[in-house]
Structures are given as C-alpha cells and as structure tokens.
Amino acid sequence: MPEQRCVIIGNGPAANEAAITLRENAPDMRITIIGAERSGHYRAYLLPDFVCGKVAEESLYVHPPAFYRERNLHLRLGQSVVNIDFHACKITLDHKEVLTYDGLVLAVGSKPRIPEPLLIFEDLMLTLKTVRDAHIWRERLTEVDSALIIGGDLTSLSFANALLTMGKQVKFMLNEDSFWPVRCTEKILSEASEKLRAKGVDVILSNKIKGIAQEKDDRFHVETNARNFHIGLIGAFFGLRPNVKFLAKTGVLLEKGILVDKYLRTGFENVYAAGDCAQVYHPEFKDYWVSIGYRNARNLGRTAALNLLGGKFQADVAAKNIFEVDGIVVNTSWWTEF
Amino acid sequence: MSESTENASRDVVSKGRVEAGIVYSKDPADFYYMSVNVPCQNACPAWTNVPAYIRKVYEGKYAESYAINRMVNILPGILGRICSRPCEDKCRHGDSDLGHPVNICHIKRSAADLKREEPSVPRSRFAQNGKKVFIIGAGPAGLAAAHDLATVGFDVTIYESLDKPGGMLQWGIPEFRLPRNVIADETSAILDLGVTLKTGIKVGKDVSLKDLLSQYDAGLVATGCYVSRGLDAPGEDLEGVYPGLEFLMEVNAGRRLPIGKRVIVIGAGFTAFDCARTALRLGAENVSICIRGLEEELRVTADEIHEAKVEGVTIRPLLLSQIIVGQSKVEGVEFVRSRPGDLKPDGRHRSLAIPGSEFVMPADAVIVAVGQESEPLFVNDTDTKNIALNPDPVSNTTGAPRLYSAGDFTTGPSTVIASIASGRRAAERIAEDLLGWPVREWVVSIQETQVTDRQREWDYIPRVEMPKVEPPSERLDPPQREVETGFDEKLAEEESKRCYLCYLHYEIDIDRCIYCRYCIDVAPRHCIKLVEKVITNEDGAVTNLVETGNWRKVNAVVIDNDQCIRCGACLRICPMDCISVSKVQLLDRMIPSGEQNA
C-alpha cells in the first residue's frame, strides 16, 4: 500500500518507530500520526529526573518538529480519537472530523492505573505519566517537604530517588500488590523495604488505605490499616492501564489491552496494535502480556509497520523476567538496583 | 405514527376512540411508531412509560411517578435498585454523539424513596367474579400475576415453598443491593389486594398439582429456576465448593459460611457478581470472578462490574475451568487460558482453549455460578403416569388444561422485569380464558400538548450517578448495609432534566410549510430532512425517509423522530407556526366490566 494512507494513533515510542519504519520502506505513503497530548514525543522514563531538575525539559523530547516535516510525516497533536469504524475504515476525532485510512496502527499507549478501590481518592493523588504531570509535581513540590508514594511500579523507585535528591521526606507504602507488573513475594517485599529504608525512606507496610483527607493545600491526613500520618503530597504509582476505553464496542478484541496475535494483527484487515496498549499471548507466562518499556515499544512499533507493509515478522515479546527501566534493560529484580 | 392518527392528533377522529381530547389508538402503525421512537419504553419487557414517570420526578410529583411505574411493573422500589435496565441500553441520550444514557433506573428508585404520600393503588373496577386461581411461587412473576388477577376480580391463592414471599428477590439477591423492608412493603401492597399467601407448602410434595387443579378454576406455575447448574468438572463435590444460588440462599437466610480468604467465583452473570461481593462481606480478601469470555461481553450492567471492582473483586477473563483441585477440601481450580474465536449467534465470541496453557489458581473456596434451571414439575395424569408440563413462553399455556406458566420456569433464567412482564401476560391470558373476554388492552394515546420547558443546556448535564457508601471499605460491615444510598430531591431533579422526553412527537404541517429551512439551520443534529419519498409499511407506518440534496426533488420537510432529541428549537424558530407537538404514549388500560363489547 505504498501510495495509500496510513494512520498511526498515538505519539509514543511505538507510534514514532512505526512511522519512521513506514517512511523508510514506503516513501510515497501518506502517514498521519495522531497524538492526544499537545506535547511532542518525549522520553517518559526521564520524567523523574526532570521533576527533580536533573534534566532540562528540552532533553525530554525525542524529535524536533523539523524531523517530521523532513520525512513528510503529518503530525496532529492535541487531537483525540473517540471512535473507530473498523469496517468502514473511518476514524472519528473528538472535534467530529472523520479520517479514512487504508492501514492503521493502534499505538495509543497507556495511562496511570488507579486500582478501583482507591478511585474514591483519585482527585487527591498525583500521577507521573506525562510532561504535564511532571510540571504539576514540580510546582507542588515547591510548597511541601514530604511526599507519600503508593504502589511500586517502574517509575516509583526512580521517582523516590528523585525526591530524596531534592531533600524531601519520602514515605513509601508497600504491599503485596505494589510491584506492578509482577506479583510481589515476601522476599521481594523484604528486600525492597530494606533498600528503601537504607536510603532514608519511611516504609509503611500496609495493604489498605482507609481514608485520605485534605486538610490544607499542602497537608493531607492519611489513614491506613498500619498507621495514620500527615503528608504534603501523595503520588499513585500502580503501573499503567492500556488507554483503550474508546475502543469498547468497536469490535476490536479487548482484555486489558488490545488482543493481538504474534504478528500484532488485531483481527481487522490492515489494523495492527503495538506498544503497551497491545496484549500478546505469552507462552511462558501462560497469560496475555503487555510488553512495557521504551525499547520494547519501539520494537513492537517497527514490527507492526513491517507487517502492515506485507511482512510477516513475529513480535519479539520480552522474556517474562526482562523489563526496561531508565533506558537500561533489567530483570524483574529491578528494585535490587535501587 | 400512521398518517391517519397524525391527523387525528390535530383535529379529527380516525380509527381511535376519543376521550377528553385524547385519541386512544390501536392502529398497528401507531404501535410501530412507539417501538421505534420511544426506545426506552420499547426495550422494557413490561413497557414501562419511562418518559412520563421521569417527567413527574422532574415536577416533584413522586407519588404520581411511582404510580405510573407501578401500573405496569408492579414493584418500582425493587426494580429501581436491581433492574437489569434494558431501557438504558436503548436510551437516545446514549447515542455515540449524545453522551451517556439517562440514569433511568435510579430515577425510578427516587420516585419510590421520595414519595411523601402513598400512591393510589389500582383497586378492582370489577366485582368478584367467583373464579378461583392458584399460583405456585411468590416470586416476581407469581406476584405480578396475582396482582393483575386480583385487580380484575379473581380469588387468588399463592403457594410458596419457602417461608417468605419474594422468590429470587428475597433469596437470590443480597441485602446490600436490596433491603428486605423494600421487598416487604411492595409485596404487602399486592397481598393487601386480597391475595391469600400460603408459605411453606411445596407443590408436588405437600400437595399435588392434580388436587389443586380440582379445587381451582385455573393455576399458574411460576416456580422460577432454583436448581444450580454445575460445571461437570472433576472435584465439584469437594468441601468448599458451593453452587452459586445455594450459596446466596444460605447467606440470605442468615447463615455464615466458612469460605476462607481466597475465593474463586466461576460464572458471568448477576449471580456470580452477587456471590463475589457477598464473599467479601464474609471476610474473603482475595476474590476473583473467572469468566470464559471477555469482560465487555459480560451480561451484567457496567455499574455492577464497576462496583464489584471498587469493593476489591478482580475479574479474570479468558479462562476455562478444567478441574477443581483438592484432596478432601478444595485447594484451587485448574484453568486453561482461552482466546476469543468466531462470533456466536448471541453476539459473543466462542472461547477456544490454548493448548499447554493450563495452570492452577489456588483457592480456599470455589463458587460455581454458571446458571440455573427450573425444577421439573409433573402433573399426575393417571395413577401411574407423570406428564411434564412443557410450558410455552409465548402463550403461557402448558401441556395440562387450565394450567398456565410464567417467569423463569417458562423461559429459563431471565430478569426480574422480564418475569414481571411474563406474569402479567399469563394473568391476562388466564382472565380472558376464564371470563371469555379481555380485561386489559394496550393502546397508544395521542394528545396535543405544549412544548416543554426543557432547555437545550440540559442536554449537556453529565449523567448523575447513584451516591454510594464511601470509602468502599465502609460497605462491608455490617454486611447487609445498602451500598447505594439514593438520590435526594436535587439529584433526582438534575438527572430527570436529562431525559429528552421521547414521548413527545414533533411534526411539520407540510401544507403550511414555506420551505424556509430555518428549522434545519437550528437543528442540533440531522433530525429534520429534505425528503423525496416517505416509505411506509403495509400498516401505513413510516419506516424510512428517502432524502435528497436536489431541491427540485424535495417533496417534504420531515422531522425524523428517531433522530429528534425533542429540543423544541425547530418549533420556536418556525415563522409559519407549522410545527406541532403531541404527547404519544403507550398505555396499559383495564377494560372495565360492561365495556368489553363497546
């Protein structure tokens, strides 16, 4: 489909790698990238360092606007897709514009996951997934001297480090559900607690938040089944949830993310999914698996693009104990390197 | 509407009866109009007049709103809590460009909660006719049938095998979703019509069906589905494995079952969700609902899924149970992972096992909630031969003369509102067969009305969700504490504002229209059309509009009531005053004694 139109929904590593791969292999193809955020493609794993001032904002961004112009990649930022008609090959944007496509790559990424029992406190907690989130943290951290981290995903530990370098007091609430995306064990819990405490982090072993009340702009009262305390800010770090709600009832198969086969096919012709919105069956895990991390996302984006162009490449699903964090490949004991 | 009744609604009488300026039509074309243009009412198995009762709530007339509900669905306070809400799936406000469906169910509950006076309950306009009918089962179908038969002069006796009326409402739905005083109040209102209730009597064991048939003029079997289906998997007889319905019945009877901390629920319906949430209230800490298919294919409401998750239940999709594992007591379930296959006729995907994906999920208790079926009931035809009843869900008759059936016994497991509708249909059939004439009829009422005070900005009000006990940890103790706390007057008014009031019918008088197209300019969506041709069916109902962009081919400007959101903008802008509005309602009417042949 060299002279046809390919639309890529998403503007993260999988989406950008897919676009670059398509352009390299199909010089005449019309390629459109639709990103919901207004900012360009950035390295999300650097956000903790940006919050604490270790890196400048410019360093977050991967490509300047000229990069897209030179490659004739149409970049639409700040536009959300609200519906896709996979049978008619039509995409509806939130401002009612309808786009047609011949090929489609769904690389819509994910958003911070708040466990349902904690949704009642969602407005009282900050997350760290986007540049905008990072700016909010920077601003709010000027007003407080302490922060609570709940959860234990890939970002949480590097962010705890970032807070410590800023001289903030850090409390870390750990429990067996903390280490998304893997299940925590007693051994992991004890190792992680020890390392955190050695750095001066106040570890709270608790599996239930009974209440959070905001007493002032910079003061929250937190009640857990272990103990009660006051804190300046609260961050939720429970990992990510594929950003696929808008695809409900469209016919595409959804579990947590978009179910695809090993070639990243969705079941609709010329429609592929890549990055951390895609779920592939993982024979070793005996489960559907979302590959996370920057490098995995780029690999999947490239595979989806090549297959869209007629290739038959299998997704390189990460081994179950391999993740990537902070740009380096680590195994699931990443907390030991904290 | 048919062309004839459209005229009738303005000035002349056509096929319908006219009473106090209202046309009552039985024209099939008008029934077709209602089925397409008032989708909420059409989706309700009992045909509840949704726009009318929502409007009454907006006006603060809660008792009247309750009465409109009660007229057809009999148990509004109960349904306002636990209805499966097929109406909301069809609500026009839920169209992809219009936001979210109106919270119809909870508005219904608000009418029940907020009414200050008792609504008028329909009393019989019939004299006692001397005919006696027995009903087996005091669940939703049996109670609805008893209500309708009592109001038209029958002497009704209900035989209930358990010690309280309500059926599945009483025994199958947890108290945290449906407080027992609500069941008591609404069942009492039915029994107060003169219905006799005999509890603790199991027909077929304590008394024979044959004997009952000899004592009564007719009987109705509404015994529901109380037999839990199993998995047919090894290990189902291990200690710690509970059939879903039995589990709920035990807990609802006040028994505290030992279930441990880790509970697996196998099943995808309301019973499975009720079991999972009940398990949390019994002290379980890790509760998973394991389903064969995808979460978005679940048969329960989105609210139910959300609330279960909020309370801590995990839903694990694409799992096929193989074996329940354990020595003498359950230790877990062996599952095989599945992938979605092709679509089945019911719109869900087939589940295909992935070879080699077997794994064991540990558990202290397993609850199997994969469906229920009815217990067979036999009528003793001779001394030696029992005849199965073979109920017919369309006619509500059975293989035995003078014996009818209704509800889940007839159809298999369904919903409370479907059972009520089934019970009412059966009652209508019994009454007509015993009396020789119909006692009720459905009519389309058409009356001129004014444009409402609805404002366009009300269309942008976000859906008002039901307030609940928060944080979720507060819900579990005491375990029977009702989770949903109900709308107050302000919330009820706010949510009722969102209803488009689809029972209003907007129409352009083409003889007076000057084709200025102002109405098209102000229309909020593509609801006013330039048409070349109007397609009708054999009854004269409008089924399609052939639009044209060629001005010379335009034969009419037509309001497509299927797309119309009743904003009234067209009516207000029209310089020729050629747009009229009428209120079109599908109503259930009792035919009073003596009027049957009128």
Q: Mind giving me the DSSP string for B42-110?
A: HHSTT---HHHHHHHHHTT-HHHHHHHHHHHHS-HHHHHHH---HHHHH-GGGSTTT-S---HHHHHHH
Chain B CB contacts of A96 under 8 Å are 97
Contact A286 B312 (CB under 8 A): no
* Contact (Cβ atoms closer than 8 angstroms) between residue B145 and residue B220: yes
Given a cut of 90, whether residue A317 has pLDDT beyond it is no
From the centroid of its chain, how far is CA B238? 37
Give the DSSP letter of residue A125. -
Please tell me the total number of residues recorded for chain A in this structure.
338
* Contact (Cβ atoms closer than 8 angstroms) between residue B174 and residue B274: yes
Helices B140-151 and B416-435 pack at an angle, to 10 degrees, of 40
Tokens read off for B204: 């077929």
Taking the Cβ of residue B163 and every Cβ of chain A, the question of whether any pair is shorter than 8 Å is answered with: no
Query: pLDDT tier at A1 (50, 70, 90 boundaries)?
Result: low
The set of residues, in sequence order, having a beta carbon less than 8 Å from that of B301 and lying 6+ positions away, is B84, B85
Shortest distance, CA A224 to any CA of chain B (angstroms): 11
Taking the Cβ of residue B348 and every Cβ of chain A, the question of whether any pair is shorter than 8 Å is answered with: no
Predicted local confidence at residue B598, as pLDDT: 45
In terms of CA atoms, which chain B residue is nearest residue A225? B473
Helix H or strand E segment including A82: strand A81-85
Q: What percent of chain A has pLDDT over 90?
A: 64
Contact B318 A255 (CB under 8 A): yes
Over range A55-78, report the average pLDDT.
Answer: 95
Residue B576 exposure: Cα atoms within 13 Å on the Cβ side: 14
Distance in angstroms (rounded) separating the CA atoms of residues B427 and B152: 10
Given a cut of 70, whether residue A136 has pLDDT beyond it is yes
Predicted local confidence at residue B7, as pLDDT: 44
Taking the Cβ of residue A246 and every Cβ of chain B, the question of whether any pair is shorter than 8 Å is answered with: no
Predicted local confidence at residue B123, as pLDDT: 62
Taking the Cβ of residue B233 and every Cβ of chain A, the question of whether any pair is shorter than 8 Å is answered with: no
Contact B340 A281 (CB under 8 A): no
Predicted local confidence at residue B13, as pLDDT: 36
Contact B296 A248 (CB under 8 A): yes
Taking the Cβ of residue A268 and every Cβ of chain B, the question of whether any pair is shorter than 8 Å is answered with: no
The set of residues, in sequence order, having a beta carbon less than 8 Å from that of B426 and lying 6+ positions away, is B141, B145, B220, B222, B396, B404, B405, B406
Given a cut of 80, whether residue A316 has pLDDT beyond it is no
Predicted local confidence at residue B5, as pLDDT: 47
Query: pLDDT tier at A318 (50, 70, 90 boundaries)?
Result: low
Over range A129-141, report the average pLDDT.
Answer: 95
Predicted local confidence at residue B38, as pLDDT: 96
Judge residue A152's burial from the number of C-beta atoms within 10 Å of its C-beta, 0-12 exposed, 13-18 middle, 19 or more buried. Answer: buried
Predicted local confidence at residue A153, as pLDDT: 77
Predicted local confidence at residue B334, as pLDDT: 97
Distance in angstroms (rounded) separating the CA atoms of residues B248 and B240: 14
Please provide the average confidence, as pLDDT, over all residues in chain A. Answer: 87
Predicted local confidence at residue A104, as pLDDT: 98
Predicted local confidence at residue B12, as pLDDT: 32
* Contact (Cβ atoms closer than 8 angstroms) between residue B427 and residue B193: no
Distance in angstroms (rounded) separating the CA atoms of residues B527 and B563: 5
Taking the Cβ of residue B452 and every Cβ of chain A, the question of whether any pair is shorter than 8 Å is answered with: no
Given a cut of 60, whether residue A335 has pLDDT beyond it is no
Contact B471 A283 (CB under 8 A): no
- HEC per residue, B16-30: CEEECCEEEECCHHH
Taking the Cβ of residue A249 and every Cβ of chain B, the question of whether any pair is shorter than 8 Å is answered with: yes
In terms of CA atoms, which chain A residue is nearest residue B474? A210
Residue reference for tokens 């503007």: A11
Predicted local confidence at residue A73, as pLDDT: 97
Nearest to A240 by CA among A129, A92, A336: A129
Predicted local confidence at residue A66, as pLDDT: 95
Given a cut of 50, whether residue A221 has pLDDT beyond it is yes
In tens, the pLDDT along B269-322 reads 999 999 999 999 999 999 999 999 999 899 898 889 999 999 999 999 999 999
Give this complex's ipTM.
0.85
Distance in angstroms (rounded) separating the CA atoms of residues B445 and B587: 7
In tens, the pLDDT along A192-208 reads 788 889 989 999 987 78
Q: What stretches in chain B show pLDDT beneath 70? A: 1-20, 119-125, 380-388, 592-598
Predicted local confidence at residue A206, as pLDDT: 79
Predicted local confidence at residue A282, as pLDDT: 83
In terms of CA atoms, which chain B residue is nearest residue A280? B339
* Contact (Cβ atoms closer than 8 angstroms) between residue A18 and residue A9: no
Given a cut of 50, whether residue A327 has pLDDT beyond it is no
Shortest distance, CA A63 to any CA of chain B (angstroms): 35
Residue reference for tokens 């103990």: A227
Given a cut of 60, whether residue A319 has pLDDT beyond it is no
* Contact (Cβ atoms closer than 8 angstroms) between residue B539 and residue B27: yes
The set of residues, in sequence order, having a beta carbon less than 8 Å from that of B107 and lying 6+ positions away, is B53, B54, B57, B80, B487, B492, B495, B496, B499
- Measured CA distances, A321 to A14, A332, B341, B348, B552 (Å): 21, 5, 30, 34, 71
Contact B473 A117 (CB under 8 A): yes
In terms of CA atoms, which chain B residue is nearest residue A114? B310
